[in-house]
Amino acid sequence: MVFFFQNLVNALQWGSFYALIALGYSMVYGILMLFNFAHGDIFMVGAYIGFGVATGLTMLAAAGTLAIPNWMILVLTIIISMFLTSFVGILVERVGYRPLRDAPRASAAITGLMIGIMLETGNLILLGAQRVRFPTLIDSATYNIGGVFVTNKKIMIVIVSIGLMIALHQFVQRTKYGMAMRAMAFDYVVIPLMGVPINLIAAMTFAIGSALAAAAGILFGVAYPVLDPYMGIVFGWKAFVAAILGGRGSILGATLAGFLLGFIEIFVAMIFPSTLRDLIAYSIILVILAVRPHGFFGEPYSAKLRL
Amino acid sequence: MRRAGIVLLTCFVVCLFCSSGVWAKSKVIKIGINAPMTGDIPKVGEGTKYAAQMWLEDVNAAGGIKVGDKRFPVELVIEDNEAKAESAVKANTKMITNEEVLAIVGPQSSKQAVPAGDVANNWKTPMISPWSTNPDTTMDREYVFRGCFLDPFQGPVVANFITEEFGYAKAAVLYDVASDYPKGLAEFFKKAWEDLHGKGSVVAYESFTTKDADFSSQLTKIIRSGAEVLFAPQYYNEIALIVQQAHELGWKNPIVGSDSWGSAETVKLCGKECYGLFFSTHYAAAGATGATKDFIDRYNKKYGYIPDDVGALTWDSLRIVQKAIEDCGSLTGNIEKDRKCVRDALAKIKEFDGITGKMTFTEDGDPIKCAVIVRISDKGEYEFYKSVCP
């Protein structure tokens, strides 16, 4: 039982990352019908921006210019990096996707791959192949709850992730811009006629998705403090799986599917030899998709789809 | 046809030597150095060259290598292999046929040492690779030797060390199933551990794939298995994550590694989490004593930094070659015969006292030597802890 709960805790942390990144995929896919394959690399860029901001703030704090405790630095790092990374997202949309909005979908998907490679190699040139260590901002404290080991980092990661997801949900459901996003997902052609600025909404979608990816990147840096320029690739693919599994454009779906993916990966490794982890985990997903081809909350093909 | 060509060419070259008697006239012993001076790993080439130059100074200060009752001056022929396999082959061919070297030291990496060893063996020229750990380098090659231990040897070394040092009987292994080195080493360790403690004593044998960052489910399994020690033959980027996550999941026992931990990056990425852990490697600079310390100090004074394992192993390899030439008794002047003589002397070397440990060659040309166990000190330095012999 202890073993089960320990894995549950592990899976919650791991699933948080998938969920946060899947949200970005899902939003862009839902609203613009684009596979933004650069999203995994935006996650990487977010982590590196977080690394830069955290290092800078730590230095300022150490020099005495900024008298703030470490946890404050972490909060500031998350906020500043989310802000900065959202501009990376806007730039990607402006340069990579807007010119191709009426192009075949495949071309836009290729753009994503190319931008991803550009971000990876750009980082490689800028910082070199050397891996960097994310600064330690909160001292790790481990709590032993009846044999289950939980760290303060794990708790923080899960709480911050879920908090961000709720905030996003509120934004999309309750604000005017949120409504515009939902409307755009509903019908791309009619919306401009209603006076909705689609370029603004598209940029905003990318900005929010990238900000979430940046948050995921920093939380990742806190939990797994070794960053390298290629860290986003496989992670991005898997989060993409979660986004599709959740259903097109569904925030709740992407969140749940992200956590589910984390759970499947962790529990498969718990029961079967760990060598077979990905093989079995993704076979399970294949079966789920075979039963529900539109994901958990996706709707079958209808007038909404413009493909 | 090609083989016949080589044989013919060999005969031709041999006849040239016999008739002209180049060797008898020059009376200089030439030692070839095949090293990556440029390319991906120039630092390795630099270490090789510096160690070789230090050795040459020593030898020439003594008036050359003493063979029988005569002293022969020594000359180094340094060829760049650009860290490429084909260039290493070319360099070896050139040194053997044009420069008429008596023996070759290098290449360092297995990637170059494996093909270059073939050339040396075909031309019957003794070659010793200081750093190559791949079994194929010396396998079935009479004329090829190496200066370091092999991957299959490190498994038993670590297993023995853990058993003696901590007295544990249950071990766990965590390794990258998609990478050759960790996978091989994990298997060798498992076998050695089960030979020591019986079947089923490796209570958890867990793997992951390259680029994974989360090892929590594997580590949870390892902790539940009741393992007393964890062996992780990984590279520096994964070590930092494995060690930290293990500690966060409540693992308090030792985590032991292999020579892949030896990079300075390990401590940089891992920080305090890694202090106090052990790994096996070729040599340790901090805490060295005797001849090893003398070597390190001299090198440091001359070139301004602490030599890594390549420098130390090159130094030892050159001294082994020197010993073999001395043991030869006399040089006939016939390069073919002299090479054979040096090769036979190399194979006969027993208990050679090198700065990286005592060595005796097996039939395959691999040394039986002790490995060094390094402890990561509380300052993050790699400290000599003890040497473990097979």
A54 domain-assigned = yes
| CA closest to A15 among chain B residues | B214
Give the mean model confidence (pLDDT) for residues A123-136. 84
DSSP code for B271: G
Q: Which helix (H) or strand (E) holds A260?
A: helix A251-271
DSSP string, B41-102: -HHHHHHHHHHHHHHHHHHHHTTSEEETTEEE-EEEEEEE-TT-HHHHHHHHHHHHHTS--S
- Up-side HSE of residue B13: CA atoms within 13 Å toward CB? 17
Give the mean model confidence (pLDDT) for residues A49-72. 88
Single out the residue of B239, B35, B271 nearest to residue A134, CA to CA: B271
Per-residue pLDDT band for A194 (boundaries 50, 70, 90) equals confident
Residues 6 or more apart whose CB falls under 8 angstroms from that of B98 comprise none
What's residue B306's pLDDT?
82
What's the angle, vertex CA B119, arms to CA B82 and CA B342, rounded to 5?
Answer: 110
Q: What backbone phi and psi angles, to 5 degrees, belong to B375?
A: -110, 135
Single out the residue of B214, B234, B231 nearest to residue B222, CA to CA: B231
A161 domain-assigned = yes
Give the mean model confidence (pLDDT) for residues B210-236. 90
Among A140, A266, A275, select the one facing B217 at the smallest CB separation: A266
End-to-end CA distance of chain B: 45
Percent of chain A whose pLDDT exceeds 90: 53
Collapsing DSSP states into helix, strand and coil, what is residue A291?
helix
> Considering chain A, what is the average pLDDT of its residues?
89
**Beta strand pairing call for B202-208 and B171-176:** parallel
Stated length of chain A: 307
What's residue B25's pLDDT?
46
**Best of B174, B214, B225 to disrupt the A interface by mutation (most A CBs within 10 Å)?**
B214
In order of A17, A54, A67, B1, B240, the CA distances from A74 in angstroms are 17, 7, 14, 71, 21
Please tell me if residue B214 touches chain A, with a CB cutoff of 8 Å: yes
Percent of chain B whose pLDDT exceeds 70: 93
Provide the shortest C-alpha distance from residue A270 to chain B (in Å): 6
Quote the domain boundaries for residue A69.
Answer: 19-232
| CA closest to B244 among chain A residues | A224
Give the mean model confidence (pLDDT) for residues B175-200. 89
Residue B44 has pLDDT above 50, yes or no: yes
Please tell me if residue B337 touches chain A, with a CB cutoff of 8 Å: no
Q: Which helix (H) or strand (E) holds A200?
A: helix A198-223
Q: Which residues of A touch B247 (CB under 8 A)?
A: 140, 142
Chain A to chain B, count of Cβ pairs less than 8 Å apart?
82
Q: Is A120 exposed, middle or buried (0-12, 13-18, 19+ CB in 10 A)?
A: buried
What's residue A301's pLDDT?
53
Please tell me if residue B175 touches chain A, with a CB cutoff of 8 Å: no
The sign of the CA dihedral B15, B17, B20, B21 is: negative
Task: Annotate A52-75 with b (16+ C-beta within 10 A) or e (fewer).
Answer: bbbeebbeebeeeeeeeebeebbe
**Tens-place pLDDT, residues A133-148:** 999 888 888 898 888 9
Higher pLDDT, B24 or A38: A38
For domain B2-149+289-369, which architecture applies? Answer: 3-Layer(aba) Sandwich (3.40)
Partner-chain contact B269 A131, CB within 8 Å: yes
Q: Please tell me the distance from the alpha carbon of residue A248 to that of residue A267, in angstroms, as a whole number.
A: 26
Least confident of A77-81, A227-231, B252-256: A227-231
> Considering chain B, what is the average pLDDT of its residues?
86
Q: Which residues of A touch B236 (CB under 8 A)?
A: 131
What's residue B14's pLDDT?
53
Predicted ipTM of the assembly? 0.86
Give the mean model confidence (pLDDT) for residues B171-193. 89
Any idea where the domains of chain B sit in the sequence? 2-149+289-369, 152-281
Token digits for B27? 């009376």
Please tell me if residue B187 touches chain A, with a CB cutoff of 8 Å: no
Q: Which helix (H) or strand (E) holds B368?
A: strand B367-369
What's residue A307's pLDDT?
35
What's residue B11's pLDDT?
55
Higher pLDDT, B371 or A91: A91
**Beta strand pairing call for B255-257 and B278-281:** parallel
**Beta strand pairing call for A226-227 and B127-129:** unpaired
Provide the shortest C-alpha distance from residue A262 to chain B (in Å): 10
Task: Annotate B109-144 with b (16+ C-beta within 10 A) or e (fewer).
Answer: bbbbbbbbbbbbbbbebbbbbbbbbbbebbeebbbb
Rama region for A90: left / alpha / beta (φ>0; ψ in -120 to 50; rest): alpha
Partner-chain contact A142 B247, CB within 8 Å: yes
A212 domain-assigned = yes
Residue A181 · residue A172 · CB < 8 Å: yes
Partner-chain contact A144 B216, CB within 8 Å: no
**Tens-place pLDDT, residues B305-363:** 888 888 899 999 999 999 999 988 888 888 888 999 999 999 888 888 888 888 888 88
Please tell me if residue B208 touches chain A, with a CB cutoff of 8 Å: yes
- Up-side HSE of residue B186: CA atoms within 13 Å toward CB? 22
Please tell me if residue B178 touches chain A, with a CB cutoff of 8 Å: no
Among B218, B268, B271, select the one facing A269 at the smallest CB separation: B218
Beta bridge pairs of residue B383? B286, B375
Per-residue pLDDT band for B102 (boundaries 50, 70, 90) equals very high
Percent of chain A whose pLDDT exceeds 70: 97
Give the mean model confidence (pLDDT) for residues B41-68. 89
What's residue B10's pLDDT?
61
Residue A44 · residue A226 · CB < 8 Å: no
Residue A286 has pLDDT above 60, yes or no: yes
Partner-chain contact B177 A153, CB within 8 Å: no
**Tens-place pLDDT, residues B280-291:** 888 887 777 888
| CA closest to B175 among chain A residues | A275
Provide the shortest C-alpha distance from residue A160 to chain B (in Å): 19
A62 domain-assigned = yes
A2 domain-assigned = no
Q: Which residues of B touch A151 (CB under 8 A)?
A: 248
A198 domain-assigned = yes
Partner-chain contact B241 A226, CB within 8 Å: yes
Collapsing DSSP states into helix, strand and coil, what is residue A158?
helix
Partner-chain contact A274 B249, CB within 8 Å: no
Q: Please tell me the distance from the alpha carbon of residue B313 to that of residue B111, in angstroms, as a whole number.
A: 17
Query: Domain total for chain A?
Result: 1
Partner-chain contact B241 A224, CB within 8 Å: yes
What's residue B179's pLDDT?
75
Please tell me if residue B203 touches chain A, with a CB cutoff of 8 Å: no
What's residue A208's pLDDT?
95
Token digits for B142? 């009479």
Which CATH code fits B152-281? Answer: 3.40.50.2300
What's residue B13's pLDDT?
54
A202 domain-assigned = yes
What's residue A275's pLDDT?
84
Q: Which residues of A touch B237 (CB under 8 A)?
A: 131, 226, 228
Q: Please tell me the distance from the alpha carbon of residue B113 to that of residue B130, in angstroms, as a whole number.
A: 10
What's residue B6's pLDDT?
63
Type of residue numbered A191? I
Residues 6 or more apart whose CB falls under 8 angstroms from that of A7 comprise A266, A267, A270, B216, B217, B220
Residue B254 has pLDDT above 50, yes or no: yes
Q: What backbone phi and psi angles, to 5 degrees, belong to B362?
A: -85, 180
Which residue intervals of chain B are DSSP H helices?
Answer: 2-20, 22-26, 42-61, 85-97, 110-122, 151-166, 180-197, 216-224, 236-248, 265-270, 290-303, 309-327, 335-348
Partner-chain contact A10 B213, CB within 8 Å: no
